Every structure is written in C-alpha cells, then in structure tokens.
C-alpha cells in the first residue's frame, strides 16, 4: 500500500491542490486526514479516477482550446499575414 501526498495526487490528476481538496470534500475522492495532512492511498485514487470522469479545470480547457485554434489557424495572431483570397496584390 503506497500513500500519496496532496501534491502527488495533484500531479497525477494534472490539476491543482485546490481541485484535489474539492474532489476530496465534495466528490468523494477517498483520503485520510492525519493531523494537518491529507493522505491518499494510490490504489484508491486510481479506482476513483476509473470510476468517474474528471472534468478538466477551466485553465486546462482554455489552454486546450487555444492549442486547437492554433492548429487549425496557425497564422491567426501573426501580424501582417493576410488571407490569400482577401486583399493584397493580385496579378
């Protein structure tokens, strides 16, 4: 049985410490309070993740959205670029 710290769980879930605490308090993420520390059992965290789909944080959704936009329109924010069929010099 391996115990994980709050920081380790946040890293595994690719989220913030605050989000992990919220999952613990409001969404049933199994954890054990020992003094001032919150500890998690690795297997229980894995089971919890498998049993539910965790929504990405707002920042993660925003970041993913920007990456997708850039993939489909890489020149969107580049100054001085023009659409080939709009404006510019035509021969």
Domain 3-72, CATH:
1.10.10
Between 60 and 19, the more confident residue is 19
Q: What are phi and psi of 78, to 5 degrees?
A: -80, 125
Average pLDDT of the residues in 71-78: 59
Q: Is the confidence at residue 77, as pLDDT, over 60?
A: no
Q: How far apart are CA 16 and CA 22, in angstroms?
A: 10
DSSP 8-39: HHHHHHTS-HHHHHHHHHHS----EEETTEEE
Share of the chain above pLDDT 90, in %: 47
Q: Is the confidence at residue 16, as pLDDT, over 60?
A: yes
Rg (Cα) of the chain, in Å, rounded? 22
Per-residue model confidence (pLDDT) at position 52 = 82
Q: Is the confidence at residue 32, as pLDDT, over 90?
A: yes
């Amino acid at each position: 049985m391996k115990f994980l710290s709050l920081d380790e769980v946040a890293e595994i879930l690719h989220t913030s410490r605050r989000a992990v605490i919220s999952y613990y308090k409001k969404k049933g993420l199994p954890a054990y309070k020992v003094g001032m520390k919150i500890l998690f059992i690795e297997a229980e965290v894995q089971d919890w993740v498998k049993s539910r789909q965790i929504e990405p944080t707002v920042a993660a959704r925003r970041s993913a959205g920007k990456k997708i936009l850039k993939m489909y329109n890489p020149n969107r924010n580049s100054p001085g670029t023009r659409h080939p069929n709009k404006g510019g010099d035509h021969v």
